[in-house]
A and B are shown apart, each in its own frame.
Chain A
C-alpha cells in the first residue's frame, strides 16, 4: 500500500459544508469539534468567493507530532500509509499540538479535553469505503486514494497543484488549484491564487455564536461512542428539505436512527447529499420538537399553552370550524400548507379537505417563490416545468450554462455539483448573472453583477441583439414558435438594444452582446433561472422573456438546451367525488396569501376568519407587521408544525406533526422530474402525528370520513388510489417506486411498465396526454409567444402578451414600474391565469415622475437596494434553525454589504446593523464583502425571533404585501429600497 491522501479540488468545491457534516456524523463530533472545516474566504478586492476545505495535511514532518510532550507520543504517523493519528487514550489535552500545526488543522474536544484530528476514517477504510467526506461531497471535490495515483490523475487532467508548503512540513493532502478566471482576478502561472489577505465573514467565527451550544450537549448520536452503534439495517428513502430532493439511506440500530448517508446505488445522484440531508439526524433526535397538542391559554402572540389530548384538540377545532361555517360561510376558512408538509399532504389530503369543506382559499408557498415561472411556463409551453434531465447526455452535454438569478450551488447543491463537474470535464462556458458574487458565480467564467429587478431588460436586450443580427434559430422559430415575429418587431420597435440595457442593468453593452452571441452560438445552452427572476412584480414577463430567448436560440425540446426554472411540479391531484364536494360560492380572495390580509383584517372582499396553517407564515409571509395584525383579527388559528415557531405563538391550537421518515411521504418536486418516495421508518416523537392523519381525523369529525377514509392514513395506499390517476403519474405506483433501490421514478410514465424519458419534447415526439404528433402541450402544439387569446388574458391584468420592460417601484434609477388599480378588497377582476376562480388586480406600467415613491424614498435616505433570498446550503427556511449544526455553520442573520458602502456608513465587518425599509426594520450582523453590488445589500430569509439558538427578527418585516405581479400574484422580495445604519 502506498501513502494515502485526500485530493481537494478548489475548482469543484463550492462551500456547501457537506463534508463537514459527514465528518461530524461519522465521528460523532459535537459543537466546536472539528476534523475538517470548510472556510469561506473571499478576495477582498473583487469579492470573488473562495472555499477552502481545511483538514489535516498528514505531513511528512508533522509539527503536531513533534510538539506532543507525551512519551510515547499521543500522535503517531503510520510509516506505511502516512496517516497521522492522535491516540486519544494517551492525549493529556495540553493543546501544544493545536498550536504547533501551522495549518490549524488540529481539532480539540473542549469537553473531553483531548486533541481530535482527521485520520482518514480507518474504520471505513477497513470496510473498503472512502472517508466520509470524500464519499459524500456533492461537488466531487474530494478524492481519496493512493497519493501517487491521485497525483497521476491530476496530471492527466492537466491540473496544477497548489503549493502550500510554507513550512517545509511536506503536507500530503493535495489541493488542486483553481482554473483561471476573468474579471481581473490574478492568474499566476500556477493558476488562480488566493488573495493574500482573504476576507472571511467575522460573524461566522464569533465566539458568541458557538456559546449557545454550551449549556446542553447535542442530541444523540453526536458525542456518543460510535463503536456501540453499528447499523443493523439500512433503508433507502429520500431527503425532504429542499428542491434537490436527494435520495438517501437511513441507517438504524433497532428502531434508532444512527446515520444518514447518500444512496450510492442512485444512478442520478451517485450517493451525494448536502448537509441538510445529514441534518435529518438532528430532525429526528431533537429536543425542540413539538410532541403534544397544545391549546392557547395566554394572549395571542404570548406563546402560553396547555397540553391537551388529541381528541380534545380535534373535537374542539371541529366544533369551532362548525361555528365559523355557520357564522361566516365555508370560504371564511383559509388553508396555508407549505412545502414542509410534503406533496401528498398539499395536493392530496388538504386538497380533499378543502373540496369537502368548501373553501377556495387553499395555498402553499408558490406565490412567494415560483408562481411567476409557473404561469410563464403554462402560457408559453402549456404546462409547468422543463423537460430535461441531469444526465451526461442531456444537461451534461450543454455547450454553455447561463445562470440568471439562480444560485444553484446553495439552493440545489447536488445538482450544481453535477453541472460544475460537467463544466470542468467538458470545458463548458459558464456565466452567472446575479447582483451577488454567489457560490455559483464563483465557479463561472464570468460574473455579471446586474442591478436587482432589471433581468427582463437584459433578456430583452439579448433577444434584440440576436434577432437584429439574425443569430436566431430560424427553422425552430418558424416551425415551433407562435408569434415570434411579432415579438421581434416589438422589441426592436421599443429599442430594447444592449446600449439601452446598459444603463438599466449596469452591465456593459459589449458584455450583453458577447453574452448573446455566446448563447446563440453554443451547441446547446441551458439557461437556469430561479427566485432571482421569480420574486419580482415582473416575474411572469421576465420568465417569459428568458423562455423566449431559449426558444429563439433553439434551446427548447433538445438535449443540452433548455430554460430550467427549478422544479417541474408533478400533477398530483386527489379529488373528492363531485357529489361530495361542497359548493364553493366565491372565488379565492387572491392567489397569494399576502392578498388575504385584507379579508382577515377588514372582511373585504369577504371575511376570512379562520386559518389552518402549517410552516411558519409569521416569518415567511411578506409584510410581517401587516401579517401579524391580520392574524390577531382571526377567530381561529390552528398551527400544524414540527417546531414551535412565531406562528405557533399566535395559534389557538398547535398540533405536533411528524416529518419525513416518521410518516411516509413523497419527496419534494425537483428539477428533473424525479418522484422520490420516503417510507415510514420510525415513530414520531411523543404524540406527534403525520399531517395526513391529522387532516383525516379532522375530516372525519366534520363528516368527510367516507372520502377521507381511515385506510388512507396509510400514505402509500392513499398515493396509489387517490393521487396518480393521470397520464403523467399512473405508472409511479408504490410497486414501481419500491422496485428500485433508489426509490424514485422519473415522470411522466403512463403505466407501470412505461419507460422513463430522459428528455421530453424532442422533435418527432408527442407530449404526454396530447394527441399524436403534438410536440408541445399548448393549444397550438407550438411554443406560444403571442396569440390573441394570450393578449386578451394579459390585457385583463393591464399587461400585454409581448413583455414590455418595467421594474420595481422602489428602484434607484427611476425605471418604469407598476401602479395598481385595485387593492385586495374586491373581486372585480378574476385572474385569467389561475385554474380556479381567483381574485386579481389590474395594474399599469407607468414611467417614473418626480415625487413617485422611489424618488421620495431616495430623498429620505433609502438609497440602497435590499435583496432577500436563501442563505447558504446548510439552511432551508425556518426548520434548519432548530438544528445545532446548521446554526454552528451559519449562526446569525447577516446583512451582506459592500466594503465601500460599509466604510461610508462607518460599519465594520461583524458589527450589528439596522436595516430599514418603508415597511419595517430589523437588525442583523454585517458581513462586509465585496461580492455584492455597491448599491445593494443582501439579507437572507429563514431566521425568526423565537428560534432556539440565534433568534433574529425575520427579514419579512422589511418586505411589502402590496408589491405583487398582477399576472401571478408573486411578491417582490428582491428589490426594495432600504437604509442601513449601525445598530
Chain B
C-alpha cells in the first residue's frame, strides 16, 4: 500500500510558506486597519476560530491512531501536520502581535510544538536511523539478577493483564485509549509496570535525551496547550470582564463575568 507520508521537502515548503505568510503579515500589519491589530476584532476573532478548528483537526490524529477508527493513521498524521501548521498561522495572526498577556504563552507553546515536530521529523529521524546496531552489548552474556527482576515484573504484568484484558497475551499487549477510559486504575498500574520494564530494557537511556524525550515533551506540551486553549476560549467567552481588565470589551462574548 502506498504511504501517505509528507516528505521532508514538502514539509519544508509548508513551514517556509507559513513563515512567509506570518512575516509578510507582521511586516505590513502597520499599514492595515485597527481591526487587524486587535485579537478580538471580528476579523481576527474569525482567524482565531478557524485556527482553533484546524488545531482540533490536528488533535483527531491523536485519537484515530490510538483507536483504529477513522482510516489510515498515516493519512491522519499528514492532516495533523498540515492543519497544525495552518492552524498555527491563523492563531498567530489572530494574536495580532498582542503578546503582553497570558495567552501569548499559548502562542509560544504552539510555535514550539510546530518547531519540535518539524525538527523531530527532519533532523531526529537521522538519529533514529543511526540507532540501528548500537546496542551490541545486548548480545553479550546476560546477568541473572536482571533476568530475575524482569521475570517478577512479567509475572506482575500477567496478573494485572487478566483484569485489564482477559485473554490477551502479555508478550504482544499494550494498553490502548479504550483501556484508559474503561479501566483507568488498572491501566495506570499496568503502564507503571511497562515503565519499570522499559527502564530495565534501557529503552530511553540507550539513546540521546532528545530522541528519548522529544515525543513525550511534544505530547505533554500539546496536552497543556489544548487545556490552555480551552481556558482561553472559556475566559474570553464567559469572563470577558475579567479579560478586559475594566477596559473595552470589543469581542463577541456571552457573559461579562
Contacts and interface: CB of A to CB of B under 8 A. Distances in A.
Interface in A60-82: 60-63, 65-72, 74, 77
A210 B134 CA distance: 15
Q: Is the interface of A mostly helix, strand, loop or mixed?
A: loop
Interface stretch (B18-26, B136-144, B230-238): B136-144
B130 interface: yes
A99 B72 contact: no
Contact of B142 (A72, A107, A165): A165
Interface stretch (B41-49, B63-71, B82-90, B181-189): B63-71
Contact of B131 (A94, A99, A194, A195): A99
A805 B201 CA distance: 58
Contact of B203 (A52, A99, A109, A195): A99
A189 to B, nearest CB: 11
Interface stretch (A29-37, A548-556, A700-708, A901-909): A29-37
A780 B144 CA distance: 69
Given A100-B201, A167-B201, A39 B3 contact: no
A92 interface: yes
Contacts of A114: 3, 5
B114 to A, nearest CB: 17
Interface string B111-136: 00000000001001110111111111
B256 interface: no
Interface stretch (A83-91, A286-294, A454-462): A83-91
Contact of A164 (B2, B5, B138, B146): B138
Given A67-B174, A74-B73, 5 more contacts: A77-B172, A89-B3, A108-B129, A164-B139, A198-B140
5 contacts: A90-B72, A99-B207, A112-B7, A164-B141, A166-B147
Contacts of A89: 1-3, 72, 74
A104 B143 contact: no
Contacts of B132: 34, 37, 54, 98, 104-108
B166 interface: no
Contact of B126 (A32, A90, A165): A32
B130 A207 contact: yes
B143 A166 contact: yes
Residue among B121, B131, B134 facing the most chain A CB atoms (10 A cut-off): B131
B131 A98 contact: yes
A111 interface: yes
A32 B130 contact: yes
A683 interface: no
B198 to A, nearest CB: 7
B154 interface: yes
Q: How extensive is the interface on chain A, given as a class?
A: 35 or more
Contact of B135 (A66, A103, A107): A103
A166 B201 CA distance: 9
Contacts of B77: 92-93
A200 interface: yes
B170 interface: yes
B124 to A, nearest CB: 7
Contacts of B124: 95
B215 interface: yes
Nearest to A113: B5
B2 A96 contact: no
Residue among A92, A196, A198 facing the most chain B CB atoms (10 A cut-off): A92
A41 interface: yes
Nearest to A55: B133
B254 interface: no
B202 A102 contact: yes
A33 B126 CA distance: 10
B108 interface: no
A186 to B, nearest CB: 11
A205 B137 CA distance: 15
A99 B211 contact: yes
A828 interface: no
B154 A168 contact: yes
A234 interface: no
Given A108-B129, A164-B142, A66 B206 contact: no
B131 A71 contact: no
Interface of B: 1-3, 5, 7-8, 65-68, 72-74, 77, 121, 124-126, 128-143, 146-147, 150-151, 154, 170-174, 176-177, 194, 198, 200-204, 206-207, 211-212, 215
A574 B132 CA distance: 52
Contact of B130 (A52, A99, A167, A210): A210
A167 B150 contact: yes
A70 B73 contact: yes
A629 interface: no
Residue among B65, B68, B138, B147 facing the most chain A CB atoms (10 A cut-off): B138
A166 B146 contact: yes
A93 B154 contact: no
B128 A108 contact: yes
A65 B172 contact: yes
Contacts of B67: 71
A163 interface: yes
Given A60-B171, A114-B3, A94 B129 contact: no
Given A89-B72, A108-B125, A167-B150, A103 B5 contact: no
A69 B68 CA distance: 11
A175 interface: yes
Residue among A63, A74, A170, A175 facing the most chain B CB atoms (10 A cut-off): A63
B131 to A, nearest CB: 5
Given A69-B65, A100-B198, A108-B131, A92 B139 contact: no
A734 interface: no
Contacts of B129: 32-34, 107-110
B117 to A, nearest CB: 11
A103 B3 CA distance: 27
Contact of A103 (B2, B8, B138): B138
Contact of B147 (A71, A108, A168): A168
Residue among A62, A111, A166 facing the most chain B CB atoms (10 A cut-off): A166
A54 B170 contact: no
A57 to B, nearest CB: 9
A72 B150 CA distance: 27
Contact of A105 (B73, B133, B147): B133
A358 B22 CA distance: 76
A331 to B, nearest CB: 56
Nearest to B76: A92
Contact of A98 (B128, B136, B151): B128
Contact of B138 (A37, A74, A166): A166
A113 B140 contact: no
A193 interface: yes
Interface string A466-498: 000000000000000000000000000000000
A982 interface: no
A66 B67 CA distance: 15
Contacts of A88: 3
Residue among B128, B202, B204 facing the most chain A CB atoms (10 A cut-off): B128
A115 to B, nearest CB: 8
B210 to A, nearest CB: 11
A162 interface: yes
Interface in A171-192: 175, 188, 190
B196 to A, nearest CB: 13
The 6 tightest CB contacts between A and B, nearest first, are A61-B171, A89-B1, A110-B125, A104-B135, A166-B142, A37-B133
A512 to B, nearest CB: 35
Contacts of B201: 63, 100, 102, 167
A113 B121 contact: yes
Nearest to B77: A92
Interface in A136-183: 162-168, 170, 175
Given A71-B65, A92-B77, A166-B143, A52 B215 contact: no
A104 B139 contact: no
Contacts of A61: 154, 170-172
Given A37-B133, A112-B5, A94 B215 contact: yes
B133 A163 contact: no
Given A34-B132, A168-B154, A62 B74 contact: no
